[in-house]
Amino acid sequence: LSDRFFPFEAIQTDAVLSLDEDTSLSTSEVDFAFSVWRSFPERIVGFPTQSHFWDPELGRWGYTSKWTNELSIVLTAAAFYHRYYHSLFTEYLPAGLRELVDGLAACEDILMNVLVAAVTKLPPIKVTQRKQHKEAAGQQAECRDGAAGTPPPGQRSPSAPRSAPAQPKGTAGSRRFSQRQDCLNQLADWFGYMPLVSSQLRLDPVLFKDQVSVLRKKYPSLEKP
C-alpha cells in the first residue's frame, strides 16, 4: 500500500492529486482544491477529514471519523500534496514504518499525514466539497464523556468527541477502524511524540453560499446538494 507514495519518474508536476478508485469529485471541487494548494504547497489539502485525540482513561491516542469542528488528518482518498513528500516517504522514513502500514493494510494515509505534520509543524487544510465522503459505517471512535485529559508530557491534545457511538463488533468496518487506531499509536511510539496538529479551518470559495447572484460566483456548482 505504501507504493502509492513512491516517487515515480512519471510524476513531473509539483502537485499530486491522490484519489482512491471509488472517489468521485466534480471539476469545480478539483479546481478549487488545486487553487488552495497553490497557496499552501507545503500542506496536504483535500476533502475527507478525520481527527485524533488523547483518551485519558485508556492512556492512548484515539482516532475518530465523527464529524466535529476539529481535524488533524486529510485522507489521501481525495487530496493534493507536493510530490516532494513522495521522496521523503520512500527515502527518509525507516523501512520498518512502511512495513508497519503495509502489514496493517489500513493506514498509509495516516503515515503520510504524520510525516507532513512532523516536517511542517502545521495541520492539513480541508476545502469545500459538494458531496460528502463517509467512511464505512461503524468507523467511529468509542470514547467516554469528559475532558480530553492529559496526553504525554509536552503534547497538546484536541478535545475528545463526546457521546460517540460504540463500534459494532465483528464487522469489516470495525476491524479496519481498530487497525487504524492501533497504527496511530504505533506511529506515535515510533516518532516519540504525536506529530499531528489539530485545526478548525475549512476554506470555502469567495461568496460561498452568500445570497448573491450565481453569476458573481466562480464555483456555483459547489452549493448544489
Any idea what the CATH number is for the domain that residue 31 is in? 3.90.550.10
What is the three-state SS of 55-90? ECCCCEEEEECCCCCCECEECCCEEEEECHHHHHHH
Task: Please tell me the predicted confidence (pLDDT) of residue 163.
Answer: 44
Range name among 65-69, 103-107, 217-221 with the lowest pLDDT average: 217-221
Task: Please tell me the predicted confidence (pLDDT) of residue 69.
Answer: 83
Mean pLDDT of 60-76: 89
Number of domains in the chain: 1
Q: Within 13 Å, how many C-alpha atoms sit on residue 208's CB side?
A: 15
Task: Please tell me the predicted confidence (pLDDT) of residue 106.
Answer: 75
Residue pLDDT, tens place only, 3-48: 899 999 999 999 999 999 888 888 888 989 999 999 999 999 999 8
Cα 109 to Cα 39, 49, 116, distances in angstroms: 22, 11, 11
Domain containing residue 74: 2-223
Q: What angle, rounded to 10 degrees, do the helices at 95-104 and 172-191 form?
A: 170
Average pLDDT score, the chain = 81
Grid coordinates given for 91: 527515502
Quick one: how far is CA 58 from the chain centroid? 23
Please tell me the pTM assigned to this model. Answer: 0.80
- Length of the chain counted residue by residue: 225
Residue pLDDT, tens place only, 162-183: 544 444 445 666 788 888 899 9
